[in-house]
Amino acid sequence: METDLHQAITASGLRMTRQRQVILDVLRQSHGHLDAEALHDRVRQQDPRISLATVYRTLALLKEFGLVQEHRLGEEHGHFEAAPQAPHYHFTCLKCRKVIEFQASSVQRVVREVAAKESVQITDVHLLLSGYCADCSREGVEGNHET
């Protein structure tokens, strides 16, 4: 995958800079969804000279090459993750903001059916479910019994 990235960037007339590589590495090593500021904080631990503007420009470039995905996760700003090998979707708790990733083969089946029925090429699918996680649901139920 690294070779593909280098080739794609070079073919676009760009260079694979050390800063771009550091940003991609941090995203790949992260086990969560980072917003640009959190990513910047982590990247600066490896290279304090990387600016927030560089992080934003690099995220846009990596998204263009399909190496990074951006998700809103119920908020106004984006959260980023390295593009996963298999499609997955997100549930966000409205109370504690916990994000749960899940796979659903039925979603992929529906996407294929829509593409075939409507003769369209679907290039991206975002499914965000919102509600209350098990812990927050229990707190809500317990809270209702206390009154």
Question: Given a cut of 90, is residue 108 above it in pLDDT?
Answer: no
Q: What is the pLDDT of residues 68-95, one digit of tens each?
A: 778 776 667 777 877 766 677 878 888 9
Q: Would you state the pLDDT for residue 13?
A: 74
Cα torsion 21, 26, 29, 30: sign: negative
Reported as a single tens digit per residue, the pLDDT across 18-35 is 898 898 889 888 877 888
Q: Do 26 and 80 touch, CB atoms closer than 8 A?
A: no
Q: Which CATH number is associated with domain 1-84?
A: 1.10.10.10
**86-147: CATH number:** 3.30.1490.190
Q: Which helix (H) or strand (E) holds 140?
A: helix 134-146
Q: Residue 50 is encoded by which pair of tokens?
A: 């990387």
pLDDT tens for 115-136 read: 999 999 987 777 878 899 999 9
Helix (H, G, I), strand (E, B) or coil at 142: helix
The percent of residues in the chain predicted with pLDDT above 90, rounded, is 27
Residue 8 is classified by DSSP as: H
Q: Which two tokens stand for residue 79?
A: 């959260």
Task: Give 90's Cβ-side CA count (13 Å radius).
Answer: 22
